[in-house]
Structures are given as structure tokens and as C-alpha cells.
Structure 1
Amino acid sequence: MSDDEKDPARKVITDYAQQHFRYFRTADGTVYAQRNGHPVARPIRSQGTTGSHRQELMVGLFRDGVGVFNGTALKEALDLIEALALTEDVQPVHIRVAPGFDGATWLDLGRTDGQSVRIHPTGWDIAVPDPREVCWRRTQLTGELPLPAKDTDGKGIDLLLRLCNFATAETECLAIAWLIGCLGPSVPVPAPFLTGPQGAGKSTGGRMLIRIVEGMSGDLRRAPKDEENLIAAVAAGWVTALDNLSHMTPDLSDAMCCIVTGAENVKRALFTDGDVFRARYRRPLLLTGIDVGVIRPDLAERLLPLRLERPKVRRTEAELWAEYADALPVVLGSLLDLTVKVRSVEAETPTDLRMADFAHLCAQLDAATGFGALTAYRASLDDLNDDVIEGDLLAQTVLRHAADIEPGAEQRMTSTEWLHCLTHLYTGEEFRPLPKGWPTTGKVLSDRLKRLQPTLAARGVLIDSGRTREGRYIEMARSPASVPHEQQSF
């Protein structure tokens, strides 16, 4: 055959690629490649040094005897394939957990053979998902999980609780509820904050929790110094675990709120003038530390404090992790059994809690096991409200003023008048100096009170605002059904 009769290299590559791979696009326009019959999808524009579709295509062409092609031919072929894929149907890709057909959910085991766990209303089983039902996106943070054990009779839960140093039974049931929530792709879960004295095994306990979902390669990491790096780490995995937090800036606190309940980040695409890159994320988050200082009210509603205690008997790291690795298949199997049991139970959704989905999950867990998780969750939120109040002198001053308001009564003043009233109450007759961060204008006070609204409402103090012909006002009232809480001192 003469050279003129040969097919161009780009056509040979394109024909081979379309025979062996399925190409599709996501809602943001990213094109993915999926080997026929395999659930793992890779972006065709990935330039990663390992596991990129370009490498996958080159290896396939060589091993099947088609040939070895230069970079220009591969680029031209992939350009054409990408253009053709943009006309295909849209399909999402998922990391670790995904919704399936008929009410089922999937858990990616991170295996090269594509085997995953299908959790459905009648049980769970191990199978390779249909590529048109689930497309897995894997990164360097996607570790491999062992095949979960069947018929564990709940032994795995007992093994996990024996390895961790949880201080109370209430803490144990909240940790289990969080793990079940991590297996749900559409359930926002609060961020566990593992705390306790030095030597309580907070970092070890955090690793044990995340490795049930992320595999033995899952680990804790230091909090990034900026939000952009934090979002990049969050988007590349399922559970994000930050270790040894001792201080939380307002920006980091706001970023964590977005991670827990979901948000979208938009930035300019590289090497373009007008294109943008969209990153949607909502991930389970886990934190460890002795104390993070003052907690902002909006983050407090999204935290789940888990207190640990110092173990009575110390063991070496090698012994501990060898036992954990042996127990992990049983732990995962028991967790899946309990997840199926919990999801099959009907329970009423509490309407007074911010994280209503997780509160409903706690109610289901209680109905299935009788643990008392919902009561423990309410108690944990009450403790966090105390932490917020203890760290905010303005909140303490408002509660002190509200103690003189009759239940059911209300007071209405402008923000400037409230600032003068609360400032005078704080300084007292001694005219002590105002603390750093005290509101300096009525507008600043109004904004601070809006942020404190949920915390104060939990103590029976209701803050509202409105407008009349004379101007805007802030209204403070005590709930008629409020129970007096221990008065804060300062």
C-alpha cells in the first residue's frame, strides 16, 4: 500500500479510541473517557504523570499492535474526540460515593477491577457497576478498600469502638451516625471535631474513622494556608480530615461551613481570557485538636464534638494498625449492614435543627438500634452554644440584658440605641475598657446580632429586625417557653 493510501495517524488513533472507550461530558463541559465495561472515568485533558487517559490510550495502541504515535497525532486525535464528545449526553462523575438506580447508592472500593459496593433497600452486594449508572472519578487521594465481610453480626462496630478511645456512649453513637452519613451521597453531615486531653489519641482516632471510607492510605493533613488550596484538596477526595487545629481564622471557618453544606467556586480557566472553571463541592469534613479557640456561631451549627479520653493501656503503632487492618473488612461489613438497617426505618424529621438531614439520620439510627443518637446530637449542639457564648462577650452581655425582660415581652430600639445600652451594661459603673472587637457602630452591632441569632435563640432570646416610618429597628424578646439557663458571668 502506498503512503497516499494509508490512513492518517490521527484517524487510526480516533478509530481505535472510539472502539475501546466511551466518551462523554459532564455538566461543566469536561470530557471524560471510560474503557468499555469499566466504571472508572478519566478526563481526556488530564496531564497527570500516572493514570491519565493519554497514557491509557498510548499503552492500548502499543499492546494491541496498532503502533506507536507521536505527540502531534495524539493531540489531533484527542482534539477531535473531545469535539465529538461535546455532542453526547451529559453524565456526572463521582468520587467514592454515588447515587444509583432504584434508590441504591454505590461505594467505590478503589480497586483496579472496578468492584464496588451497591447499597440497596434490601441489603448490599459487591458488583461492577454499569458504566451508564455510575462513573467513578479517581485521584491520588482515592485509596483502595478491602472487600467488606458478610454476616458479621455487628462485630465490626464493637471492634471499632474498642480501638477508639471515645469517652462516652453518646460520643460512640454520634461517630457511628457520622460514618453512616458518609455513605450517603446526598446527606450533608456535620464535621466531627475530635477533642480531648493530650495523649487521648485524637489523630489516631481520626485516621481510624476516615480509613473506613478512604482505605488504609487515607490520612490527616494540615489545614492549607489559603482557601484555594483547601478547595483543591477537598475536590480531590471524599472525606477531608484536618489535624491538630489550634486556631481558626474567620476565612477558614467560612470555608468549612461551605464544605459541609455545599458551595461552588468559580475562577478563570488557565490560559484563557473569558472561560471560567466551576468547582462544586460538598464533602464530609473531620477535624482534630485540643482547642480551636473562639468558634463562630455558623460553624458551631455544623460541628459534631467527639470527646476522647486517654487510654489506660498503651500499645505500639505497629500493633494497633496491624489489628485495625485485620479488623477493617469486618468493620466495613458491619457498617454496611447497619446502614441498610437504618435506611429501611421510617422516622420523623426534626424541624428545629439546622442540619435536618443528619438529625433525621440520627432519628432513624435510634429507631433501628435504640442508641439515643438524636438526644446526644442535641446535647452536643447545646455544648457548642455554650462554647460560642463563652467566647463572645457581646453574647454574654445580651443574655444578661435579656434576663431582665419578662418572658413573652419585647424591647425595640434602633441599633445605635442598642449599642449604647449594651455598651453601658458591659462597662458598668467602673467604666472598664471595652474589649477588642466590640462593635463600634450600630451597623456593626446589627451584623453581629444577626450572626448570633441561632445561638441566642437556643437560650430563649429572640432577635428580630424591621423598619417603620421612623427608621430601622432591632427587637429583642424572651421566648415565653424559654427555660432560664445558667447566667453567664464576665
Structure 2
Amino acid sequence: MSDDEKTPARQVITDYAQSHFRYFRTVDGTVYAQRTGHPVARPIRSQGTTGSHRQELMVGLFRDGVGVFNGTALKEALDLIEALALTEQVQPTHIRVAPGFDGATWLDLGRDDGRSVRIHPTGWDIRVPDPEEVCWRRTQLTGELPLPAKDTNGKGIDLLMRLCNFADAKTEALAIAWLIGCLEPSVPVPAPFLTGPQGAGKSTGGRMLVRIIEGMTGDLRRAPKDEENMITAVAAGWITALDNLSHLPPDLSDLMCCVITGAESIKRALFTDGDVVRSRYRRPMLLTGIDVGVIRPDLAERLLTLRLERPRVRRTEAELWAEYAEILPAVLGSLLDLTVKVRAVQAETPTDLRMADFAHLCAQLDTATGFGTLEAYRASLDDLNDDVIEGDLLAQTVLKHAAELTPGTEERMTSAEWLHALTALYSGEDCRPLPKGWPTTGKVLSDRLRRIQPTLAARGVLVDWGRTSAARYIELGRQAPPPPPEQQTAF
């Protein structure tokens, strides 16, 4: 056969690739490749340590006896495949947890054979998902999970709580609710903050909770120094766990709020001037620490306090983790059983809590088990509100002023008048110096009041803004107590 009659190498590679792989694009334009019948997808341009599609294609061509090709032929073939894939239907990729058809959700076990857990209100089972339904994306942070045990009768949860040092049953119920929430890809969950005295096993407890979802390779990490590093860590895994926090700078606090409830990051695409890369993320988070200092009110509404106590009997790390690895299949199986049970029940959604989806989950868990999780969640938020107030001298001063008002009454002043009144109340007769960060103008005071408004409302102090024909005003009032049950009017 003459050289002119030979099939070009790029055509051989393209034909082989299209017969063995499925190509599609995501909403941000990234092209992925899926081996036929397998749910794991790889970006065709990736050169990561988890393996690129280029490497996968080269190995397949060699093992199937098609041949070994040079870089130019591979590049030309992949360029054509990528161009063709950009015209295909858009499909998302998921890390660890994904929505499925018919109200089901999926949990990636991180196995080479692609077997995953399908969770549905009617039950759960282990199967390889249809690539048209779920496309898994894996990174170095995607650890392998054991096959969950069937028919555990809830013993796995009991075994887990025996290893953790949670202070009481209410705290255990909140931890269980959070784990169930982590198996729901479309619902934000508050970040548990594992706290307690030194030696209470906060880091160990955090690892145990994380590894139920992320496998034995899941671990805690130090807080990143900037937003870019944080987003990189968040995008590479499902649960982001930060260890041994001692303080929360404002930038980190705001970024954590975005991670918990969802946000989008946009940055310039490499080697371009006008193109951009969009990164959408919403992930469960977990924090550990003895004390993080001042907590901003917007983050406090997204936290879940889990208190631990010092264990009476100490064990070696080797003994502890050997037992944990042994019980992990039963723990995962019991968690899946409970998740199915919770999703099958109906419960009223509380309308007074910011994380309404998690509050609804707590109500469902209470209906299914009678744990009292919703009550514990409200108590946790009250504790966090107290922490916010104790760390904010302006909030303390506003509460002190409001205590002099008659319940059910309001007081109106301009922001400058409020600044003068609150400053005089804080300084007192001895004219003590104002603390660092005290508002210096009426505008700054108004902005600070907007930030702490939910915290003050939780203590029965209402703040509102309005305008008259002359000027804008801020209204401060005390909430009137509810009437006795016999005086309430039924509608």
C-alpha cells in the first residue's frame, strides 16, 4: 500500500476514540471523555496526577494493538474531538454526590469499577450508574469508600458515637443530621464547628465525620491564606474541613459563607486576554477549634456547634483507626438506612430559621426518630448569637439601650443622633475611651446595624430603616411579648 493510501494517524486515533469513549461538554465549555459504559469522566486537556484522557487514550491504543502514535497525531486528533464535542449536549460532572433521575441521589464510592450508591426514598442499592444520568469527576481528594453493609439495624451509628466524644445526645443528633445533609447535593447545610477543651478529640472527631463521606484518605487541613487557594481546595473535593482554627478574619468569614450557601468565582482563562473561567461551588464544610474569637453574625447563622468532652480512657491512634476502618461499612450502611427513612417522611418546614432546608431536615429526622434535633439546632443558634453579642460591643450597647424601652414601643432618630446616643451610653459618666472599630459616622453605624440586625432580632430588639420628608431615620424597638394562649385569636 502506498503512503498516499494509508489512513492518517489522526484519523485512526479519532475513529478509535469515538468508538471507545463518549465525549461531552459542561456548561463552562470544558470537554470530558467517558469510557463507554463507565460513569467516571476525565477532562481531555487535564494533565493531573489522577490521569488525563490523553494518557488513557494512549494506553488503550497500545493495549488494543492499534499502535503507538507521536504527539502531533494525538494533538490533532484531540483538537478535532474537542471541536466536535463542543456541539454536543451539555451535561454536568459531579464530585462524590450527585442528583439522579426520579428524585434519587448518588454517592460515588470512588471505586475503579464505578460502582456507586443510589439513594431513593424507597431504599438504597449499589450499582453502576448510567453515564447519561451521572458523570463522576475524580481528583486526588476522591478516596475510596468500602461497600456499605446491608441490614445493620442502626448499629453502625451507635458504634460511631462510641468512638466520638460528643457531649450529649442532642449533639450526636446534630452530627447525624449534618451527615445526612452531606448526602443531598442540592441543599446547603451549616458547617459543624467541633469545639471543646484541649484534648477532647476535636480533630479526631472531625476526621471520623469526614471519612464517612470521603473515605479513609479524607483529612483536615489548615485554613488557606487567600481566596484562590480556598476555591482550589473546595473545587477538588466534596467536604472542606479546616482544622484548629483560632480566629476568623473577615475575608475568610465571608468566603466561608459563600462556600456554605453557594457562590460563583470568575477568573481569567490561561493564555487569553478576554476569556474567563467560571467556577460554581457549594460544599459542606467542617471546622474544629477551641475558640475562634469574634464570629460575624452572617457566619453564625451558617454554623452548627458540636461540643466534645475529654475522654476518660485514652487509646492509641493505631487501635482507634483500625477499629474505625473495621466499622466503617456498618456506619455507612446505617447512615444510608437512616437517610432513606428520613427522606420518606413528611414534616413541616420551620419558617423562622435562615438555613430552612437544614431545619426541614432536622424536623424530618425528629419525625423519623424522635431525636429532638430541631430543638438542639435552635439551641445551637442561640449559643452562637450569644457569642456574636459577647464579641460585639456595639450590639451590647444597643441591647442595653433597648432594655430601657417599653415592650411594643419604638424610638426613631437619624443615624447621627443614634451614634451620639449610643456613644454616650457606652462611654458613660467616666468617659471611657471608645474601642477600636467603633463607628465614627452615622453611615458606618447604619451599616453595622444592618449586619447585626438578625442577631438583635433574636433577642427581641427590632431595627428598621425609613424616611420622612425631612430625612432618613433608624427605628429601634422592643418586640412585644406574645399574648397568652387564651387571648390569641383563631383564624
Query: TM-score of the superposition, structure 2-length normalised?
Result: 0.98
Matching of residues 151-170 of structure 1 within 5 Å = 151-170=151-170
Distance in 2 (CA, whole Å) between partners of 1:260 and 1:47 is 29
Q: CA deviation at 1:88?
A: 0.4
1:12 corresponds to which residue?
Answer: 12
Distance in 2 (CA, whole Å) between partners of 1:138 and 1:63 is 24
Matching of residues 15-414 of structure 1 within 5 Å = 15-414=15-414
Q: Could you tell me whether the CA contact under 8 Å between 1:24 and 1:86 is conserved in 2?
A: yes
Name the SS for the 1:399 alignment partner: helix
1:444 corresponds to which residue?
Answer: 444
Distance in 1 (CA, whole Å) between partners of 2:464 and 2:401 is 16
Q: Could you tell me whether the CA contact under 8 Å between 2:110 and 2:143 is conserved in 1?
A: yes
Name the SS for the 1:406 alignment partner: coil
Map Cα deviations across residues 320-378 of structure 1 (whole Å, 9 max, x no partner).
00000000000000000000000001000000000000000000000000000000000
1:454 corresponds to which residue?
Answer: 454
Q: Could you tell me whether the CA contact under 8 Å between 2:33 and 2:41 is conserved in 1?
A: yes
Map Cα deviations across residues 170-208 of structure 1 (whole Å, 9 max, x no partner).
100000000000000111100000000010000000000
Map Cα deviations across residues 122-145 of structure 1 (whole Å, 9 max, x no partner).
100000000000000001100000
Map Cα deviations across residues 287-320 of structure 1 (whole Å, 9 max, x no partner).
0000000000000000001000000000000000
Name the SS for the 2:265 alignment partner: strand
Name the SS for the 1:235 alignment partner: helix
Q: Could you tell me whether the CA contact under 8 Å between 1:459 and 1:482 is conserved in 2?
A: no
Name the SS for the 1:157 alignment partner: helix
Map Cα deviations across residues 84-121 of structure 1 (whole Å, 9 max, x no partner).
00110011110000010111100000000000000012
Distance in 1 (CA, whole Å) between partners of 2:311 and 2:426 is 44
Q: CA deviation at 1:17?
A: 0.4
Name the SS for the 2:287 alignment partner: strand
Q: Could you tell me whether the CA contact under 8 Å between 1:294 and 1:387 is conserved in 2?
A: yes
Q: CA deviation at 1:247?
A: 1.1
1:482 and 1:316, CA in 2 relative to 1: closer, same or farther beyond 3 A? farther
1:486 corresponds to which residue?
Answer: none
2:486 corresponds to which residue?
Answer: none
Q: Which residue identity lines up with residue 211 of structure 2 in the other structure?
A: R
Map Cα deviations across residues 408-450 of structure 1 (whole Å, 9 max, x no partner).
1101111111000000000000000000110011111000000
2:418 corresponds to which residue?
Answer: 418
Distance in 2 (CA, whole Å) between partners of 1:268 and 1:467 is 43
Q: CA deviation at 1:482?
A: 7.3
Q: CA deviation at 1:71?
A: 1.1
Name the SS for the 1:338 alignment partner: helix
Distance in 2 (CA, whole Å) between partners of 1:8 and 1:438 is 73
Query: TM-score of the superposition, structure 1-length normalised?
Result: 0.98
Distance in 2 (CA, whole Å) between partners of 1:54 and 1:32 is 11
Distance in 1 (CA, whole Å) between partners of 2:145 and 2:467 is 58
Q: Could you tell me whether the CA contact under 8 Å between 2:50 and 2:138 is conserved in 1?
A: no
Aligned length: 483
Q: Which residue identity lines up with residue 380 of structure 1 in the other structure?
A: S
Distance in 2 (CA, whole Å) between partners of 1:312 and 1:76 is 65
Q: CA deviation at 1:50?
A: 3.6
2:469 corresponds to which residue?
Answer: 469
Q: Which residue identity lines up with residue 126 of structure 1 in the other structure?
A: I
Q: Could you tell me whether the CA contact under 8 Å between 1:143 and 1:215 is conserved in 2?
A: yes
Distance in 2 (CA, whole Å) between partners of 1:425 and 1:355 is 35
Q: Which residue identity lines up with residue 346 of structure 2 in the other structure?
A: E
Q: Could you tell me whether the CA contact under 8 Å between 1:407 and 1:482 is conserved in 2?
A: no
Distance in 2 (CA, whole Å) between partners of 1:11 and 1:256 is 48
Name the SS for the 1:124 alignment partner: strand
1:487 corresponds to which residue?
Answer: none
Distance in 2 (CA, whole Å) between partners of 1:81 and 1:310 is 58
1:50 and 1:382, CA in 2 relative to 1: closer, same or farther beyond 3 A? closer
Name the SS for the 2:106 alignment partner: strand
1:488 corresponds to which residue?
Answer: none
Q: Could you tell me whether the CA contact under 8 Å between 2:145 and 2:214 is conserved in 1?
A: yes
Q: Could you tell me whether the CA contact under 8 Å between 2:262 and 2:281 is conserved in 1?
A: yes
Distance in 2 (CA, whole Å) between partners of 1:440 and 1:49 is 53
Distance in 1 (CA, whole Å) between partners of 2:418 and 2:190 is 34
Distance in 2 (CA, whole Å) between partners of 1:351 and 1:12 is 61
1:3 and 1:49, CA in 2 relative to 1: closer, same or farther beyond 3 A? farther
2:489 corresponds to which residue?
Answer: none
Distance in 1 (CA, whole Å) between partners of 2:50 and 2:402 is 62
Distance in 2 (CA, whole Å) between partners of 1:399 and 1:130 is 57
Name the SS for the 1:260 alignment partner: helix
Listed as ranges, the gaps of 5+ residues in structure 2 are 484-491
Distance in 1 (CA, whole Å) between partners of 2:294 and 2:165 is 25
Distance in 2 (CA, whole Å) between partners of 1:411 and 1:53 is 67
Distance in 2 (CA, whole Å) between partners of 1:336 and 1:49 is 31
Distance in 1 (CA, whole Å) between partners of 2:113 and 2:352 is 45
Q: Could you tell me whether the CA contact under 8 Å between 1:241 and 1:287 is conserved in 2?
A: yes
Listed as ranges, the gaps of 5+ residues in structure 1 are 484-490
Distance in 2 (CA, whole Å) between partners of 1:49 and 1:12 is 27
Q: Which residue identity lines up with residue 141 of structure 2 in the other structure?
A: L
Distance in 1 (CA, whole Å) between partners of 2:184 and 2:438 is 42
Distance in 2 (CA, whole Å) between partners of 1:249 and 1:6 is 65
Q: CA deviation at 1:222?
A: 0.4
Map Cα deviations across residues 373-414 of structure 1 (whole Å, 9 max, x no partner).
000000000000000000000000000000011111101111
- Aligned-residue Cα RMSD (Å) equals 0.8
Q: Could you tell me whether the CA contact under 8 Å between 1:460 and 1:482 is conserved in 2?
A: no
Distance in 1 (CA, whole Å) between partners of 2:177 and 2:347 is 15
